[in-house]
Homo-oligomer: A and B are copies of this chain.
Amino acid sequence: MFKKSSPASVATAMAHPNIAFIKYWGNRDDELRLPANGSISMNLEGLTTRTTVRFDPKLKNDTLILNKKLQGGNALQRVSAFMDIVRQKANLKLFAEIVTENNFPAGSGLASSAAAFAALSLAATKAAGLNLSRQELSALARRGSGSACRSIPAGFVEWLPGSEDEDSYAISIAPPNHWELVDCIAVVETDHKSVGSTEGHRLAATSPIQAARVEDAPRRLDICRRAILQKDFDTLAQIVELDSNLMHAVMMTSSPPLFYWNPLSIDLMKRVQSWRNEGLPVCYTLDAGPNVHILCLNEALSELKFRLHQIPAIEQILICRPGGPATLLE
């Protein structure tokens, strides 16, 4: 498709978004995206970002084509700032053409920036002739979007917060086939969200309860990690819902407050709780958007889908099993 101007000047990679079980919200360092607390997530198979990076001596700027549309403004600026980090690492002066495509709606809490910067990290470093370890790749992806570091390793992933640029990266704590967990995403709104995560992270510290949320994080991480390793759904369900509620509690008590829930989100959260009380192995979690991620055991999936299809206000239901790592394609 592309003419190679020099060896390895072009590369294509893919990555999945991830859903956080223990959330990332707020940074100790906004510039380096060093998180206030560790987090745990699962990659989402089926949702994919595919990105090609081509360095070209003829280009006078980076160009970004997202879902076949040429981008400018903030989107280009953010990607270009990230490419500067790659260029610095590779001691490279060339600009690049970046062509990226998602098979899922952007900007509705589906963590499109996580998959985007994971795929970009892999494609860009390869195209620049760098050969980074998974941990170095993860730390690099973090610079583009914090949660992107979790879309580098496979399956169930923990982001070790670290204390500086090099030691803040994510590792796999269990492979995708470890546990037949399914994320059933009830898409409630496909509109672009009003306040993006990068801006939201900056507001976290204005909430009077963010420090307490962060201080309690190691306890929640321990419970969640153990629940995954032991495949203990009920324990996972309780800690995942608590952690989601805690993050949204911080969001809606920051200045200005951020409300990502809408009426249908609340309706679904309450239904999921009552379904679990009836014995169905399901729990909810929400990222920075109104869509409700309903985690379930595979054995409950058909019953869950049946119940969700009876709620006409849900725009779309996406079914995601544990996904693999970011992968080089060409």
Q: Mark A133-176, 1 if CB is under 8 A from B, else 0.
A: 00000000000000000000000000000000000000000000
Given A259-B269, A263-B267, A209-B246 contact (CB < 8 Å): yes
Which of B209, B238, B257 is A212 in contact with, Cβ under 8 Å? B209
Complex contact B241–A245 (CB within 8 A)? no
Q: Mark A200-215, 1 if CB is under 8 A from B, else 0.
A: 0000000011011101
In the complex, how many angstroms separate the beta carbon of A193 from the nearest chain B beta carbon? Answer: 14
Complex contact B245–A252 (CB within 8 A)? yes
The answer for the CA separation of A253 and B219 in the assembled complex, in Å, is 14
A261 at the interface (CB under 8 A from B): yes
Given A209-B246, A212-B208, A261-B266 contact (CB < 8 Å): yes
Complex contact A253–B249 (CB within 8 A)? yes
A264 at the interface (CB under 8 A from B): yes
Contacts of A192 in B (CB 8 A): none
A308 at the interface (CB under 8 A from B): no
A270 at the interface (CB under 8 A from B): yes
Complex contact A211–B212 (CB within 8 A)? yes
Interface residues of A in 263-289 (CB under 8 A from B): 263-267, 269-270, 273
Which of B208, B245, B257, B266 is A253 in contact with, Cβ under 8 Å? B245
Q: Mark A233-259, 1 if CB is under 8 A from B, else 0.
A: 000001001100110011011010101
Within the oligomer, what is the number of copies of this chain?
2
In the complex, how many angstroms separate the beta carbon of A248 from the nearest chain B beta carbon? Answer: 8
Contacts of A257 in B (CB 8 A): 241-242, 245
A216 at the interface (CB under 8 A from B): yes
In the complex, how many angstroms separate the beta carbon of A44 from the nearest chain B beta carbon? Answer: 26
The answer for the CA separation of A239 and B175 in the assembled complex, in Å, is 46
Complex contact A209–B249 (CB within 8 A)? yes
A262 at the interface (CB under 8 A from B): yes
Complex contact B253–A252 (CB within 8 A)? no
For A209, A238, A262, A263, which residue has the most chain B Cβ atoms within 10 angstroms? Answer: A209
The answer for the CA separation of A191 and B209 in the assembled complex, in Å, is 32
Which of B211, B242, B266 is A262 in contact with, Cβ under 8 Å? B266
In the complex, how many angstroms separate the beta carbon of A264 from the nearest chain B beta carbon? Answer: 7
Complex contact A270–B264 (CB within 8 A)? no
Contacts of A269 in B (CB 8 A): 259
The answer for the CA separation of A213 and B267 in the assembled complex, in Å, is 26
Contacts of A241 in B (CB 8 A): 257
Interface on A for B, CB 8 Å cutoff?
208-209, 211-213, 215-216, 219, 238, 241-242, 245-246, 249-250, 252-253, 255, 257, 259, 261-267, 269-270, 273
Q: Could you jot down 17 A-B contacts, CB within 8 Å?
A: A208-B212, A208-B213, A208-B246, A209-B249, A212-B212, A241-B257, A242-B253, A242-B257, A245-B249, A245-B252, A245-B253, A246-B253, A249-B250, A262-B267, A263-B264, A263-B266, A263-B267
- New A-B contacts (8) at CB < 8 Å, excluding given A246-B249, A262-B266: A209-B213, A209-B216, A245-B253, A249-B250, A259-B270, A261-B266, A263-B266, A263-B267
